[in-house]
């Protein structure tokens, strides 16, 4: 089989490594992939948002199955375009990807169908938003409606901060069109859990839970990033919490999307907060998480391609989705200065014997050598029987990898270890 994966991060590298375990897979094309992915797939320089380019390539090469892994192409209708050419895909059509593409849509969906989430109001008028945040209890949370590279959420500690956030989104267009509408919501507290779930629109099969570490610095300090590391499973996601999430959140969400004529197929990401009043949805994503995927897929014992095809064909109920009863830890090595500004082009040294445990994100090939080309450069992943050993093992891998200006958090997994004791 010839497969195509759209995207270029560590998540895509994890998906590709797992897909390769299926014996029927002959070739995987990564569009565009990256310098590290090139060791596992044929990278083709077609951008992830070049929908026409992707579709033409898939038709020309006779691709049998496509995995659209990144949010932008999903929201832009990449799956719709490929399916129109007869190429089956993993991932939601645009009308379902809106669950991530518009926060106004997802908040209204949750309100309409009684899915637990933070109380909120939505605004398209600057003055109405300003008048509201002046009186709203603080801290208050301001969210741009559309995609904003994970940066469109501001937690305002004061009324002045809240007003500034509204002005920067709605008037100064800090996130372009994404900020034309905003959601202002109640500040929730509690541990966060990421749950990725396969669904064919009828059945939902959650994967092992995970915990992201979003802040750049140790002790959850510093700026928000795309994610500096992950562990799986998440100790806060107990069997009781899981059962409550299935009943009150996962199944109602799938049913709600069906009722709206927006059947969701693919991987639905539930960003949850376990509040004193029970689990609530912080955000939905229409795709696998990054770097959650790097700890979740190494624990998957069933065949990823078969599961993905089952979400497309509507046969997920009869398809095995089994995870090892083990733990995983991913430590992200980033370029110093990320997420603001950083230098690129430094050579990366990864010993051959650990390359199977390294998921490359921001790296390019230059004269045959792997060099840094992004903020998050790679993730080192270890699996083990205990979380303690997984964390220790991931940091041992990190010590064997080197590039100039590298930085990483030294406390990935610390909170989970404390909670698990
Ligand atoms: P997001 O980009 O939507 O994942 O949001 C970034 C982070 O902001 C989340 O991981 C939470 O830590 C935080 N956050 C978002 N919404 C809320 C909320 N209503 N209350 C408290 N924290 C929030
Ligand atoms: N790690 C968070 C995300 O993928 O959105």
Tens digits of residue pLDDT in 233-278: 999 999 999 999 999 999 999 999 999 999 999 999 999 999 999 9
pLDDT in tens, 131-186: 999 999 999 999 999 988 777 889 999 999 999 999 999 999 989 888 899 999 99
Q: What integer pLDDT is reported at residue 329 of this predicted model?
A: 98
Q: Is 70's C-beta closer than 6 angstroms to any atom of ligand 2?
A: no
Q: What integer pLDDT is reported at residue 149 of this predicted model?
A: 75
pLDDT in tens, 54-103: 999 999 999 999 999 999 999 999 999 999 999 999 999 999 999 999 99
Q: Which atom of ligand 2 is nearest to the CA of 289?
A: 4
- Which residue among 285, 286, 339 has the greatest number of ligand 2 atoms within 8 angstroms of its CB, and so is best to mutate? 285
Residue 156: which H helix or E strand, with range? strand 153-156
- Which residue among 157, 223, 272, 273 has the greatest number of ligand 1 atoms within 8 angstroms of its CB, and so is best to mutate? 273
Q: What integer pLDDT is reported at residue 223 of this predicted model?
A: 87
CB 209 within 8 A of CB 194: yes
DSSP symbol at 317: G
Backbone angles phi, psi at 299, to 5 degrees: -95, -5
Mean pLDDT of all residues in 363-386: 97
Q: Is 190's C-beta closer than 6 angstroms to any atom of ligand 1?
A: no
Q: What integer pLDDT is reported at residue 127 of this predicted model?
A: 95
Q: Which atom of ligand 2 is nearest to the CA of 283?
A: 5
Q: What integer pLDDT is reported at residue 190 of this predicted model?
A: 96
The rounded Å distance from CA 174 to ligand 2 centre is 21
CB 327 within 8 A of CB 231: yes
The rounded Å distance from CA 294 to ligand 1 centre is 21
Q: In sequence order, what DSSP letters do the residues of 283-297 get, joined into one string? A: EEESS--TTTHHHHG
Q: Is 293's C-beta closer than 6 angstroms to any atom of ligand 2?
A: no
Going by CA atoms, what residue is nearest to atom 3 of ligand 2? 289
Nearest Cα to 84, choosing from 60, 50, 55? 55
Q: Which atom of ligand 1 is nearest to the CA of 188?
A: 20
Q: Please, what's the largest Cα pairwise distance for the chain?
A: 60
In the chain, the percentage of residues whose pLDDT exceeds 70 is: 100
Q: Is 220's C-beta closer than 6 angstroms to any atom of ligand 1?
A: no
DSSP symbol at 299: G
Going by CA atoms, what residue is nearest to atom 16 of ligand 1? 282
Q: What integer pLDDT is reported at residue 61 of this predicted model?
A: 98
Going by CA atoms, what residue is nearest to atom 9 of ligand 1? 282
Q: Which atom of ligand 2 is nearest to the CA of 288?
A: 4
CA distance 346 to 371: 5
- Which residue among 107, 117, 142, 155 has the greatest number of ligand 1 atoms within 8 angstroms of its CB, and so is best to mutate? 155
Q: What is the dihedral of CA 15, 11, 398, 38, to 10 degrees?
A: 60
Q: Is 139's C-beta closer than 6 angstroms to any atom of ligand 1?
A: no
Nearest Cα to 34, choosing from 376, 309, 412, 273? 376
CA distances from 392 to 162, 227, 239, 333, 411 (A): 41, 19, 26, 15, 11
Q: Is 114 exposed, middle or buried (0-12, 13-18, 19+ CB in 10 A)?
A: exposed
- H helical segments located in 288-405: 293-296, 304-313, 387-400
Whether 21 has a pLDDT exceeding 80, the answer reads yes
What rounded mean pLDDT belongs to the chain?
96
CB 167 within 8 A of CB 100: no
Q: In sequence order, what DSSP letters do the residues of 205-250 get, joined into one string? A: EE---BEE--EEETTTEEEE-S-SEEEES-TT--HHHHHHHIIIII
Q: What integer pLDDT is reported at residue 421 of this predicted model?
A: 67
The rounded Å distance from CA 120 to ligand 1 centre is 13
Mean pLDDT of all residues in 359-388: 97
Mean pLDDT of all residues in 103-122: 96
Mean pLDDT of all residues in 376-403: 98
Q: Is 292's C-beta closer than 6 angstroms to any atom of ligand 2?
A: yes
- H helical segments located in 28-150: 51-61, 71-76, 78-84, 94-101, 103-113, 126-135
CA distance 16 to 132: 46
Exposure string for 92-106, b = 16+ CB within 10 A, e = fewer: bbbbbbbbbbbbbbb
Check residues 359 and 180 and name the one with the higher pLDDT. Answer: 359
Mean pLDDT of all residues in 348-359: 97
Q: Is 192's C-beta closer than 6 angstroms to any atom of ligand 1?
A: yes
Check residues 279 and 340 and name the one with the higher pLDDT. Answer: 279
| 3-state percent breakdown (helix, strand, coil) of the chain, nearest 5 | 35, 30, 35
Q: What integer pLDDT is reported at residue 179 of this predicted model?
A: 87
pLDDT in tens, 190-243: 999 999 999 999 999 999 999 999 999 999 999 889 899 999 999 999 999 999
Q: Is 290's C-beta closer than 6 angstroms to any atom of ligand 2?
A: yes
The rounded Å distance from CA 141 to ligand 1 centre is 8
List the beta bridge partners of residue 190. none
Going by CA atoms, what residue is nearest to atom 15 of ligand 1? 282
């Amino acid at each position: 089989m010839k497969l195509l994966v759209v995207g270029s991060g560590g998540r895509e590298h994890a998906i590709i490594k797992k897909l390769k375990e299926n014996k029927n897979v002959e070739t995987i094309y990564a569009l565009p992939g990256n310098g590290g992915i090139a060791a596992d797939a044929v990278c083709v320089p077609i951008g992830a948002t070049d929908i026409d380019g992707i579709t033409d390539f898939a038709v020309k090469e006779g691709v049998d199955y496509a995995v659209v892994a990144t949010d932008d192409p999903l929201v832009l209708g990449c799956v719709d375009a490929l399916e129109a050419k007869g190429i089956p895909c993993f991932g939601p059509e645009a009308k379902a990807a809106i669950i991530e593409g518009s926060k106004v849509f997802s908040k209204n969906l949750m309100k309409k169908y009684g899915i637990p989430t933070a109380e909120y109001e939505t605004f398209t008028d600057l003055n109405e938003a300003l008048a509201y945040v002046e009186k709203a209890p603080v801290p208050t949370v301001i969210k741009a409606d559309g995609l904003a590279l994970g940066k469109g959420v501001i937690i305002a500690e004061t009324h002045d901060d809240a007003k500034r956030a509204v002005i920067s989104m709605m008037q100064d267009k800090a996130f372009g069109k994404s900020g034309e509408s905003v959601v202002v919501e109640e500040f929730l507290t509690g541990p966060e859990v990421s749950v990725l779930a396969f669904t064919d629109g009828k059945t939902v099969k959650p994967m092992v839970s995970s915990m992201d570490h979003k802040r750049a610095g140790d002790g959850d300090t510093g700026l928000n990033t795309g994610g500096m590391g992950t562990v799986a499973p998440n100790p806060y996601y107990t069997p009781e919490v899981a059962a409550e999430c299935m009943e009150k959140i996962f199944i109602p969400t799938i049913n709600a999307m069906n009722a709206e004529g927006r059947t969701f197929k693919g991987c639905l990401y539930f960003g949850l907060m376990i509040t004193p009043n029970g689990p609530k949805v912080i955000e939905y994503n229409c795709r696998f998480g990054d770097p959650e995927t790097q700890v979740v897929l190494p624990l998957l014992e069933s065949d990823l391609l078969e599961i993905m095809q089952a979400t497309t064909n509507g046969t997920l109920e009869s398809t095995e989705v089994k995870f090892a009863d083990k733990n995983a830890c991913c430590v992200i090595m980033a370029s110093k200065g990320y997420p603001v500004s950083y230098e690129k082009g430094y050579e990366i040294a990864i010993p051959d014997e650990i390359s199977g445990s390294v998921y490359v994100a921001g790296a390019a090939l230059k004269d045959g050598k792997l060099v840094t080309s992004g903020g998050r450069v790679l993730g080192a992943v270890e699996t083990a029987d205990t979380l303690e050993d997984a964390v220790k093992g991931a940091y041992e891998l990190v010590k064997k990898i080197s590039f100039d200006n590298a930085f990483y958090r030294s406390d990935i997994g610390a909170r989970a270890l404390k909670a698990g004791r």
